[in-house]
């Protein structure tokens, strides 16, 4: 096979590398630069421009230039250039095509295969969109790997000693943090966290907003309404941000920035590092929460971290370095280039897949939990977050109503206890289930995450072998609000969600138990002690009445009261006469209804009978 290139497809800049002689090297572009701006434009005569040349003409041609398209990957967003509409995948493919062409010019041979990196916290839809972009660009994407993992690969290549490292990756549009263990050629991800819409672009925007406000105070003119002025200001803000990493003060001088009634206006402003740090202080603090959470998920203290690796251009900001030093108690490692290390790691993984390197093993994890919606709107996890991938896990569920012939599988990703607050990845139906009492059909739902982090789901009726499969290829990903709030909501509402989950579990258990009692009385009609039968009937009626309340303790108490008299009665009837219809009860049979799911944890958590709502056949 030919050379496999490694590509860091970034929000603001991209980088391509390749393995040569066992060492990863960055491939420079024709302009001689080692990174390429992730900018696409069309000149007035319709010529497609990508990279530095597109960025240069953005000021004079803002309407036909697009940047930071990565922020829209996995969504239905469209951008119009030269009166033609493009998806984020198509725009990203143009960037990938340029990187591919640059690699071919450098290597002197055709390149058809690549490893492409994505933020660790990218959703399934965003990963699929990235893979699609590679395909559009004419590349076979051998692997999608997480950016912090790639960085750790590059860092750990020449390390002889076992280490636990924290990778803090603050790029142009995304933030990731991962905890990894490096051991004799193995890179194992222990936990990952992040924010898909927080990065250097947001730091630039804060500076722009400040300059616009100050200019309006001084001149009475709002630069935010001038598209061309804003583009010049965007470039100047980015340049100032970079300069302030090395100096205490910088000057922004933009002559003829706009026009007023009196004539042309000029912008001339000094920005201090202290002012910049004040403007972005809350953005930096936003990266600390995910960092702490990743450490908690990895079950490690900062004392157990051997090295902190900074990745992404924005990690050069002194206030960022100080914040991570303060929280970790360690001086960040300066031995890697934040702009290039991810592409170098991708090239190493490409070398592994091409057979050029045989002593490296990469073990990555799923960033968010995956599961389905079950009875009462509960999110039932099948794969927990930070599970090592690739992985396959399944659980067995049943029907919620008698004679139900189809089930609706609602696939979700997220950390909230209630399905409504998580992200829908897709829906599909399993039909053709033979009519049977509720709880009898056994439906195996299987989740498979491949090495690229892309999800495949199947549902199978175990009685008939009828199976429905789906690969999640959602064209719409998380909105800005959803991504921004997903983790914050999970933390802020953890107790509320727990209480809601407990109530629904209690109601489901009560409903199942009452149904079991009624069915038992019917199955053994006229048999057993009349007083016992009356007591069971009364307890079941009381449980039904109580199940509609919001009092978890009362519902559980009534369930326990019914259990105490029902199960001895059932046991006595079986001993005396044998069970009528034995073996036909499915998951609801016996004294613990609904305990038939696979890969189960504690019994208390396994109430999964009657977990599907009936599909409305008129829809």
Tens of pLDDT along 96-127? 999 999 999 999 999 999 999 999 888 888 99
The size of the chain, in residues, is: 619
What is the rounded CA–CA span in Å between residue 301 and residue 396?
37
Confidence of residue 160 (pLDDT cuts 50, 70, 90): low
| CA distances to 123, 281, 413 from 483, in Å | 10, 20, 12
Pairing of strands 186-195, 163-170: unpaired
59 and 118 part of one domain: yes
Average pLDDT over residues 585-613: 36
Averaged over 609-616, what is the pLDDT?
A: 38
Q: Is 70 an annotated catalytic residue?
A: yes
506: tokens are 């209690």
Asked if residue 486 has pLDDT above 50, the reply is no
- Domain assignment present for residue 613? The answer is no
State whether residue 583 is helix, strand or coil. Answer: coil
Q: Are residues 67 and 155 in the same domain?
A: yes
In this prediction, residue 494 has a pLDDT band, given cuts at 50, 70 and 90, of: low
Query: Is there a catalytic annotation at residue 498?
Result: no
In a domain, 610, yes or no: no
pLDDT score of 493: 58
* Pairing of the two strands 163-170 and 307-311: parallel
Separation between Cα atoms, residue 233 and residue 453, nearest integer Å: 38
pLDDT at 388: 82
Q: What is the mean pLDDT of residues 463-487?
A: 57
Instruction: Judge whether 147 counts as a catalytic residue.
Output: yes
Q: Are residues 579 and 511 in the same domain?
A: yes
Phi, psi at residue 550, to the nearest 5°? Answer: -100, 10
Mean pLDDT of 12-39: 93
- Residues of the chain with pLDDT > 90, as a percent, come to 43
pTM above 0.85, yes or no: no
Q: Does one domain contain both 380 and 233?
A: no
Residue range 270-298, pLDDT digits in tens: 999 999 999 999 999 999 999 999 999 99
* Pair 447, 554 in one domain: no
Give residue 108's pLDDT.
92
DSSP H helices, 137-188, are 147-156
pLDDT band, very low/low/confident/very high, at 488 (cuts 50, 70, 90) = low
> For residue 433, what are its two tokens?
């289930």
Selecting among 8, 340, 373, 415, the annotated active-site residue is 8
Kindly tell me if the per-residue pLDDT of 313 is higher than 50: yes
Tell me the mean pLDDT in the region 173-182. Answer: 91
pLDDT at 599 over 50: no
Q: Is the preceding peptide bond at 390 cis, omega within 30 degrees of 0?
A: yes
pLDDT band at 84 (very low <50, low <70, confident <90, very high): confident
Q: Please check the confidence at residue 321 and state whether its pLDDT lies above 80.
A: yes
CATH code for position 206: 3.90.640.10
Same domain, 243 and 167: no
pLDDT value of residue 515: 86
At residue 497, the pLDDT reads: 62
- Among 90, 124, 169, 201, which one carries the catalytic annotation? 169
3-state secondary structure 500-521: HHHHHHHHHHHHHHHHHHHHHH
Q: Determine phi and psi for 66, rounding to 5 degrees.
A: -130, 140
Confidence band, pLDDT 50/70/90 cuts, at residue 359: low
Give the pLDDT mean for 230-246. 92
Confidence at residue 577, expressed as pLDDT on a 0 to 100 scale: 65
48 is catalytic: no
Judge if 205 and 172 occupy the same domain. Answer: no
Average pLDDT of span 15-42: 93
Average pLDDT (165-191) is 88
The number of domains in the chain is 4
The mean per-residue pLDDT over the stretch 447-469 comes to: 85
User: Quick check: is 299 in a domain?
Assistant: yes
d(CA 135, CA 38): 18
Task: For residue 476, give the CATH number of its domain.
Answer: 2.60.34.10
Over range 158-185, report the average pLDDT.
Answer: 86
pLDDT at 608 over 70: no
Burial class from Cβ neighbours inside 10 Å (0-12, 13-18, 19+) for residue 498 reads: exposed
Residues 479 and 509 in one domain: no
Q: Is the pLDDT of residue 582 over 50?
A: no
Strand 4-8 to 113-118 pairing: parallel
Residue where a domain stops, chosen among 223, 253, 282: 282
pLDDT tier for residue 153 given thresholds of 50, 70 and 90? confident
Residue 586's pLDDT is what?
35
Mean pLDDT computed over 363-391:
86
10 Å Cβ neighbour count for 253? 11
Same domain, 50 and 13: yes
Residues of the chain by 3-state class (helix, strand, coil), percent to 5 = 40, 25, 35
Asked if pLDDT for residue 335 goes beyond 60, the answer is yes
Do 452 and 571 have their domain in common? Answer: no
Give phi and psi for 29, each to the nearest 5. Answer: -85, 170
The interaxial angle of helices 341-353 and 147-156, nearest 10 deg, is: 80
Is the domain of 332 the same as that of 394? no
Boundary-marking domain end, from 282, 305, 328 = 282
Q: Of 243, 267, 282, which one is at a domain's C-terminal end?
A: 282
pLDDT at 149 over 50: yes
d(CA 178, CA 415): 18
Of 147, 181, 373, 448, the catalytic one is: 147
Q: What is the span of the domain harbouring residue 210? A: 200-282
């Amino acid at each position: 096979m030919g050379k496999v290139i490694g590509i860091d497809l970034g929000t603001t800049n991209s980088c391509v590398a390749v393995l040569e002689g066992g060492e990863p090297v960055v491939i420079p572009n024709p302009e001689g630069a080692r990174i390429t701006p992730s900018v696409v434009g069309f000149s007035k005569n319709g010529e497609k421009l990508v990279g530095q040349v597109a960025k240069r003409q953005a000021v004079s041609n803002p309407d036909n230039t697009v940047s930071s398209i990565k922020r829209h990957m996995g969504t239905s967003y469209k951008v119009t250039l030269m009166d033609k509409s493009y998806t984020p995948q198509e725009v990203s493919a143009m960037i990938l095509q340029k990187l591919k062409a640059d690699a071919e010019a450098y290597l002197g041979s055709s390149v058809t295969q690549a490893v492409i990196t994505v933020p660790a916290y990218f959703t399934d839809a965003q990963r699929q969109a990235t893979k699609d972009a590679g395909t559009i660009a004419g590349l076979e994407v051998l692997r999608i790997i997480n950016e912090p993992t790639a960085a750790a690969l590059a860092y750990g290549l020449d390390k002889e000693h076992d280490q636990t490292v924290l990778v803090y990756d603050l790029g142009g549009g995304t933030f990731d943090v991962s905890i990894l263990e490096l051991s004799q050629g193995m890179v194992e991800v222990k936990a990952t966290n992040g924010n898909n819409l927080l990065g250097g672009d947001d730091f630039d925007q804060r500076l722009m907003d400040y300059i616009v406000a100050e200019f309006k105070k001084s001149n009475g003119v709002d630069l935010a309404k001038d598209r061309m002025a804003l583009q010049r200001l965007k470039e100047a803000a980015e340049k100032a941000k970079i300069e302030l990493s090395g100096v205490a003060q910088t000057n922004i001088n933009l002559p003829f920035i706009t026009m007023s009634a009196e004539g042309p206006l000029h912008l001339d402003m000094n920005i201090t590092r202290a002012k910049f740090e004040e403007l972005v202080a809350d953005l930096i603090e936003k990266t600390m929460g995910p960092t702490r959470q990743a450490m908690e998920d990895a079950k490690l203290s900062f004392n157990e971290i051997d090295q902190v690796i900074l990745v992404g251009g924005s990690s050069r900001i002194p206030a960022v370095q100080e914040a991570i030093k303060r929280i970790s108690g360690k001086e960040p490692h300066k031995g890697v280039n934040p702009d290039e290390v991810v592409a170098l790691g991708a090239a190493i993984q490409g070398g592994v897949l091409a057979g050029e390197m045989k002593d490296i093993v990469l073990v990555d994890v799923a960033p968010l939990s995956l599961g389905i919606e079950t009875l009462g709107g509960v999110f039932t996890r099948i794969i927990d977050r930070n599970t090592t991938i690739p992985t396959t896990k399944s659980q067995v569920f049943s029907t919620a109503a008698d004679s139900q012939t189809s089930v609706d599988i609602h696939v979700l990703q997220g950390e909230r206890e209630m399905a409504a607050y998580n992200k829908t990845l897709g829906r599909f139906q399993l039909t053709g289930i033979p009519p049977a009492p509720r709880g009898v059909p056994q439906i195996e739902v299987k989740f498979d995450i491949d090495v690229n982090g892309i999800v495949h789901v199947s549902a199978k009726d175990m009685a008939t072998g009828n199976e429905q499969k789906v690969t999640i290829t959602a064209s719409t990903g998380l909105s800005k609000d959803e991504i921004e709030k997903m983790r914050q909501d999970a933390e802020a509402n953890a107790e509320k969600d727990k209480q809601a989950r407990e109530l629904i579990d209690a109601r489901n258990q009560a409903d199942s138990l009452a149904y079991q009692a009624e069915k038992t009385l019917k199955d053994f009609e006229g048999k057993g002690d009349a007083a016992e039968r009356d007591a069971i009937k009364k307890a079941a009626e009381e449980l039904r009445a109580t199940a509609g309340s919001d009092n978890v303790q009362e519902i559980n108490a009534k369930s326990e009261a019914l259990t105490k008299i029902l199960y001895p009665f059932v046991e006595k009837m079986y001993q005396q006469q044998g069970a009528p219809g034995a073996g036909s009860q499915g998951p609801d049979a016996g004294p613990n209804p609904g305990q038939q799911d696979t890969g189960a944890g504690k019994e208390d958590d396994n109430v999964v009978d009657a977990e599907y709502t009936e599909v409305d056949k008129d829809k």
